[in-house]
Structure 1
Amino acid sequence: MKFFIDTANLDEIREAYDLGVLDGVTTNPSLMAKEGISGDSNVMAHYKAICDIVDDNVSAEVIATDFEGMVREGKELAKIDDKIVVKIPMIKEGIKAIKYFHSEGIRTNCTLVFSAGQAILAAKAGASFLSPFIGRLDDISFDGLDLIEQIAHIYQNYDFETQILAASLRHTMHLVKCAEIGADVVTCPLKVITGLLNHPLTDKGLAQFLADHAKVNKG
């Protein structure tokens, strides 16, 4: 399973990269705004700064919702760095754009996915990644993990090459369950990834080891 971090914060990206488990980054206009990044040139420069930190897979989102606009913006984003994956919304014009980018050899991430039917369309169009938002489904009393499992089953049936990128993860059990049911990638805040480090028995065991070491080395 690949780990992506969902942020535009360079310090968090560096921390995740230094941990040795980071495979990519996802961003969106909201995350850019949170970091105070505005204006096309500044956004482009920030994407480049992210690319300079990580090894691959930096999802950069188009703003346009029409085919021509998405193609124009996507081409500009793809020019930033070979690591860029153009993030396209799950709408009719978006599916057309994904098909176009696939024919041009430009990787895409189909975002805002909430159903298996949408997942089938994205895979048929040639999306590189598919982003079902499991946390947002949970928010409206649907089980987002059930959707991941359903999509994984469908993709396996037909050998679709699109990778399932589970998004909107809220906690470590989301991540573990996604691994269990077959998501190819997860994207989440840094705290969800570092949360995997924590277990009370690890803390207790380490404290005991250190206490025993101190006893035998006293004096």
Structure 2
Amino acid sequence: MKFFLDTANLDQIREANDLGVLDGVTTNPSLMAKEGIRGEENIRNHYVEICRIVGGDVSAEVISTDFEGMVREGEVLADLDPHIVVKVPCIADGIKAIRHFTTKGIRTNCTLVFSPGQALLAAKAGATYVSPFVGRLDDISSDGIALVAQIVKMYSYYGYSTEVLAASIRTTQHIIQCLEVGADVATCPLSAIKGLLRHPLTDSGLATFLADYHKLNG
């Protein structure tokens, strides 16, 4: 499974990249605003900075909700760097835009997916990635992991090449659950990825090894 970092924070992206496990980055307008990045030119420059750090795909989201606007914005974003994947919402004009981008050889990430039907339409339109939102479904007492599993099974059965990018990942346990149901990618905060390192037996084992070493070597 690939790990994408869900952030626009350059320091966190560098840290994950230095850890050696980063495969890509996903962003959205909210994450850009959180970093104080405002204005179209500044946002585009920030995407370029991210692409300079990351060796994999970087999802850059359009703001428009109409077909013409999404196409116009998406083509500008795609021209910024070969690593850019245009992130498009799962609405009617978004599906139409994904089909347009597919015919132009522009890769896409269909975001805000909450049902198997939406994921089916995205795949039929040629989306590179589809992003089911795990945490947001859990927030309304639905089962986000079950949706990821349904989409993985559907794509495998029908032979769609669209990758399942599990989004809105909140915890390390979410990552493990996405792994178990076969998600291609998990996009998550750095804290959730680093949480995979933690285990009490690792800590106690290392403490024992070091204590024994110091007993023998002073």
The normalised TM-score by structure 1 is 0.99
Aligned to 2:56: 56
- Where does 1:72-87 land on structure 2 (aligned, <5 Å)? 72-87=72-87
Unpaired stretches in structure 1, ≥5 consecutive residues: none
Q: Distance in 2 between matches of 1:48 and 1:197?
A: 30
Unpaired stretches in structure 2, ≥5 consecutive residues: none
The SS at the match of 1:197 is: coil
Q: 1:56: Cα distance to partner?
A: 1.7
1:176 partner letter: I
Q: 1:11: Cα distance to partner?
A: 0.3
The SS at the match of 1:80 is: coil
Aligned to 2:109: 109
Q: Distance in 2 between matches of 1:56 and 1:75?
A: 19
1:163 partner letter: E
Identity of aligned residues (%): 67
Number of paired residues? 218
Q: Distance in 1 between matches of 2:95 and 2:45?
A: 27
- Where does 1:162-173 land on structure 2 (aligned, <5 Å)? 162-173=162-173
Q: Distance in 2 between matches of 1:151 and 1:31?
A: 26
The normalised TM-score by structure 2 is 0.99
Aligned structure 1 segments of 4 or more residues deviating by more than 6 angstroms: none
1:212 partner letter: D
Q: 1:140: Cα distance to partner?
A: 0.2
Aligned to 1:14: 14
- Where does 1:1-219 land on structure 2 (aligned, <5 Å)? 1-218=1-218
The two structures, once aligned, show a CA RMSD in angstroms of: 0.4
Q: Distance in 2 between matches of 1:205 and 1:154?
A: 43
Q: Distance in 1 between matches of 2:118 and 2:53?
A: 32
